[in-house]
Amino acid sequence: MASKLFALACIRNESCRDLSPAPHYPSMPKYPKGVPVQENMEGSEAKALFSVLGMTCSACAGSVEKAIKRLPGIRDAAVDVLNNKAQVLFFPNFVNEETIREAIEDAGFEAALIKDDVDNKSVQTCRFHIKGMTCTSCSRAVESALQGINGVQNAQVALATEEAEIRYDSKIVSHNQLLEAIEDAGFEAILISTGEDKSKIQLKVDGVRTNYSMRIIEESLQALPGVQDIEYDPLLNKVSLSYKPDETGPRNFIQVIESTGSGRFKAMIFPEEGQHGSHRQEEIKQYYKSFLWSLIFTIPVFLTSMVFMYIPGIKQGLDSKVVKMLTKGELLRWVLSTPVQFIIGRRFYIGSYKALRNGSANMDVLIALGTNAAYFYSVYTVLRAATSMDFNGVDFFETSSMLISFILLGKYLEVLAKGKTSEAIAKLMNLAPETATLLTIDGHGNVVSEKEIDSRLIQKNDIIKIIPGAKVASDGFVIWGQSHVNESMITGEARPVAKRKGDAVIGGTVNENGVLHIQVTRVGSESALSQIVRLVESAQMAKAPVQKFADRISKYFVPLVIVLAFGTWLAWFLAGKFNAYPKSWIPSSMDSFELAFQFGISVMVIACPCALGLATPTAVMVGTGVGASQGVLIKGGQALENAHKVDCIVFDKTGTLTIGKPVVVSTRLLKNMVLREFYELVAATEVNSEHPLAKAIVEYAKKFGEDEENHVWPEAEDFVSITGHGVKATVQSKEIIVGNKSLMLESHIFVPVDAEEVLVEMEEMAQTGILVSINREVVGLIAISDPLKPGARDAISILKSMNVRSIMVTGDNWGTANSIAKEVGIETVIAEAKPEQKAEKVKELQSMGLTVAMVGDGINDSPALVAADVGMAIGAGTDIAIEAADIVLMKSNLEDVITAIDLSRKTFSRIRLNYIWALGYNLLGIPIAAGALFPSTGFRLPPWIAGAAMAASSVSVVCCSLLLKNYRRPKKLDTLEISGIQVE
């Protein structure tokens, strides 16, 4: 929990978040009140950190905490459900780590001791692309294999993206060992990325002929400050470097390499192949190629068995005997279907073998059993016909070959559709421009030269030029020029945002109409774009709790289907044997055994575990992608599932309902004097203060100056800052005191009655009144307010129409809080609340059975954000690397809270629809395939049609999820924009 609180507390935002300094919170809870630390009585105290797997909500965390605290010798325990950790303070004389671990496991969760929290630096995350997974049985097998490795803290395998994300201790296990574990489980693994929170670059080095040359280059690079790791691939002449972007960068590496060895080495950025898209494209090509080859062999098999048998002349030719009762048609079908079964269908044999070897059964097992049964029974009939003079059997070669063809077609369409579900990441990655214009600046700030470079060569503090129509190459701030920048691709903000000197810009956004010079602040993995991509990738990897339903079903699905298929064949076979149905039911071309055999195969191949496995992840992928395009970053399935149930939202006031930046709203002078002179004296005093109110006054005072940007204020002498009250100074031989009423009274300055009346009026309007005295006489009052965000009242009204209750919790005084709440339309208010009291209020609401979302800016709201069912970080700007927030709102718009809840509801309704479709398909399809309609209607489902239906079910589920791409936010929000209510 400590890491999350710290992460949230470090949200960077230029605007002020509260009018009082943020208090400091310890990483662990304090000891209970009234319990002194008595080491001499209970022995020395120890701390242990445990990894706890299986927790899904705050109730789980509560169960773990209670289980730990019931043990003797426990001082305190804090359970972090988001990071899957529990931190325990205990007395070793009474209890040890193993006992604590067992207590957690007795509560129903998996626990492991994390030896040393300091070793967290060795904890890394790697990602693999996994080939060969077909259903949730496969993904579960990979997860189990990875979780069983010592050193692996967490492993997530996503069927829809065909990727695994593993968090592991690099001191215990390497990523190569993880790769071997995946391959031992029967799947092909390709490493996508390793490490965490490191900037990396890959360089191609030409001219290296010996190991000695490479060693010289490595030593030269290692000597650079900030270089962390160096890896060399001699086959590709590729050097991979991890480095600290604050200290060095890729241009330095190239310069060092090319200056080593008298200039015979040349270095350049290693060409990328687009890792995210290449694996998917390769898979699409493989399925397309396999399907075409299958079609070439299957069409003649289909024609000879289904079409040509009804054409006179051709029928006689196919029915002519080769050996005894063996016909040319049967022999031709055998020859043509064999390569389909064993060469083109080889992937199903491999998949079945790997699954069964690991003690699981997947879709490949069903396909292999169904096609093998049809094929080898057909081989049996052919051999019987070739050795008998009176055998008259029917072959099913068309069943096996057509089954494989239709399944390959279905998989081809499925991977095509699945590729579209991950388009969001591809679009985000393509936002970064390929080149950038680097400026060289002299000591006087003049541009000496400009040079076009690869955008991956940009380093921190570089000055880059952005022309109209060009993309911003990296995160930074404007040091020269004015323009409008289209940020819709990052934040979802439709209107271009004005940029001038000092304003921040985001990499990947588009400059519209002016030239900008930008100083780069963040590159590589630190950039907003990289963090957004990483967040969306993590979201698409995370499983929703509802996915457990499909995982439980898939565990027993395939074995159950095999039993049902065998039972179907046996029931029909015995019914035919004992004449339980009329002989007229049996088609003329087959006997009772073959009829029963077809029913059994149809049951086996129509059942589809894939549709169930894809129901949740594909919807989550599309939903999170749509959210990212609208500036709403949802951290995976659990956040989606919780958000759709939200019926109560707790709003912070400062920076959430209000803009979060104090501004001067009015001035009241009590003496005759020029307003410009009044603010000249006040600003000269306040310019020395760092308080947000002082900054607001100075900013307002600049409007009265000739040079608003670089105004020079009169010199202030004897400056004194009185914390919580105000400031004093001597300006132009006048004693100036600026502050609240308490400061005036303490300074023995009389406050007139009319000034006190004005102060009361200001408080009623949620304004802060500042008194100004010159030479010990009150001469004026300044009203400062944190303005309500435009559209805040409408947003609260829309939430009410969605049956979502709104509550405001703030650390501000009751007068201001009630005024703001009344203005915005919130009835329930909690004021003067400390951060831990905000969290307590959230827990209190949860105990009433409400699903609570906390919306805050992340400074003083950290405990409440963590405690809530859904934490929404609003106003996070470009700094979206927030671990504790479940949903990150890129803009400061309150309307995005509505969008987040509405999108989660739409996504979850699509997940429900997917499950209804997938379950309904199997519940209806299996009985029909088993012949439930045959006695009454004579309708039966041939195995090849059953196979086509099975293939279509997965495609249908994915396409159903893809319809989410057409999501449009509530029309009421569009009405707000049309009426001009747009939050800046």
**Which residues are annotated as catalytic?**
652
Cα 312 to Cα 200: distance, rounded to the nearest angstrom: 71
For residues 214 and 208, the answer to whether their CB atoms sit within 8 Å is yes
Q: How far is CA 957 from CA 462, 622, 724, 737, 905, in A?
A: 48, 12, 60, 70, 18
Q: What is the DSSP string of 723-764?
A: TTTEEEEEETTEEEEEE-HHHHHHTT----HHHHHHHHHHHH
Cα 715 to Cα 730: distance, rounded to the nearest angstrom: 9
SS3 at position 948: helix
- CA-based nearest residue to 802, from 710, 719, 902: 902
- CA-based nearest residue to 303, from 402, 394, 381: 402
Cα 274 to Cα 277: distance, rounded to the nearest angstrom: 6
Q: How far is CA 690 from CA 124, 542, 687, 774, in A?
A: 39, 43, 8, 22
- CA-based nearest residue to 947, from 223, 497, 348: 348
Element holding 453 (H helix, E strand): strand 447-454
Place of tokens 């590589």: 524
Cα 399 to Cα 311: distance, rounded to the nearest angstrom: 21
Q: How far is CA 242 from CA 61, 150, 199, 239, 338, in A?
A: 37, 26, 6, 10, 52
Q: In residues, how long is the chain?
A: 984
Q: How far is CA 533 from CA 153, 180, 480, 639, 814, in A?
A: 23, 27, 29, 17, 42
For residues 141 and 105, the answer to whether their CB atoms sit within 8 Å is no
For residues 277 and 426, the answer to whether their CB atoms sit within 8 Å is yes
Residues in Cβ contact with 284 at an 8 Å cutoff, skipping those fewer than 6 apart: 412, 415, 416, 419
Number of H helices and E strands in the chain, helices first, is: 33, 36
Cα 723 to Cα 579: distance, rounded to the nearest angstrom: 99
Strand 152-158's sheet: what is its strand order? 152-158, 163-169, 123-131, 188-193
- CA-based nearest residue to 687, from 736, 638, 759: 736
> How far out from the chain centre does Cα 492 lie?
17
Place of tokens 């934040």: 491
Cα 975 to Cα 319: distance, rounded to the nearest angstrom: 73
Residues in Cβ contact with 49 at an 8 Å cutoff, skipping those fewer than 6 apart: 85, 86, 87, 88, 113, 114, 117
SS3 at position 485: strand
Cα 555 to Cα 879: distance, rounded to the nearest angstrom: 41
CA atoms within 13 A on the CB side of 316: 2
Q: How far is CA 525 from CA 198, 534, 666, in A?
A: 7, 9, 45
For residues 113 and 50, the answer to whether their CB atoms sit within 8 Å is yes
SS3 at position 688: coil
Cα 577 to Cα 574: distance, rounded to the nearest angstrom: 5
Maximum alpha-carbon separation in the chain: 128
